Amino acid sequence: MLTNETHHIFRGELALVLAVIINSFGVVLMLYSGSGISAISSVPYAFSEVLPALSLGTWTYIFQGVLIAVLMLMRKRFVVSYLFSFVVGFFFGIMIDVHEMWISLLPVSLPLRILYFILSYVIISFGIALSNRCQMPIIPTDLFPREFSEITHIGYSRVKISFDVICLAVTACMTFFCLGHIKGLGIGTVFAAFTMGKCIGIIGEKMDKKVAFTSFLSTHKLA
Cβ atoms of 138 and 132 within 8 Å: the answer is: yes
| 52: Cβ contacts below 8 Å, ≥ 6 apart | none
The pLDDT of residue 131: 86
Higher local confidence (pLDDT), 221 or 158: 158
Q: CA-CA distance, 187 to 205, in Å (whole number)?
A: 27
The pLDDT of residue 177: 94
Banded pLDDT at 219 (limits 50, 70, 90): low
Selection from 204, 205, 215 nearest residue 9 by Cα: 215
Q: Provide the residue type at 14 as one letter.
A: L
Q: At residue 6, does pLDDT exceed 80?
A: no
Cβ atoms of 71 and 100 within 8 Å: the answer is: no
Cα-Cα-Cα-Cα torsion 179, 184, 190, 194, nearest 10 degrees, comes to -100
Q: For the chain, what percent of residues have pLDDT higher than 90?
A: 37
Q: What is the pLDDT of residues 147-192, one digit of tens each?
A: 999 999 998 888 888 998 899 899 999 999 999 998 888 888 888 8
Q: What is the mean pLDDT of the chain?
A: 86
Higher local confidence (pLDDT), 130 or 214: 130
Higher local confidence (pLDDT), 221 or 43: 43
Q: So where are the chain's domains?
A: 8-212
Banded pLDDT at 111 (limits 50, 70, 90): very high
Q: CA-CA distance, 136 to 196, in Å (whole number)?
A: 22
Segment 61-85 mean pLDDT: 89
CA angle 179, 182, 184 (to 5 degrees): 105
Backbone phi, psi, residue 109, to 5°: -160, 165
Q: At residue 220, does pLDDT exceed 50?
A: no
**What is the value of pTM for the model shown?**
0.77
Segment 26-42 mean pLDDT: 87
Q: CA-CA distance, 223 to 99, in Å (whole number)?
A: 38
The pLDDT of residue 4: 44
Banded pLDDT at 1 (limits 50, 70, 90): very low
The pLDDT of residue 223: 37
Selection from 41, 51, 61 nearest residue 189 by Cα: 41
The partner residues of 11 in beta bridges, in order of sequence, read: 214
Segment 61-87 mean pLDDT: 89
Residue-by-residue DSSP string for 132-195: TTSSS---HHHHHHHHHHHHHT--HHHHHHHHHHHHHHHHHHHHHHHHSS--S--HHHHHHHHH
CA angle 25, 27, 29 (to 5 degrees): 65
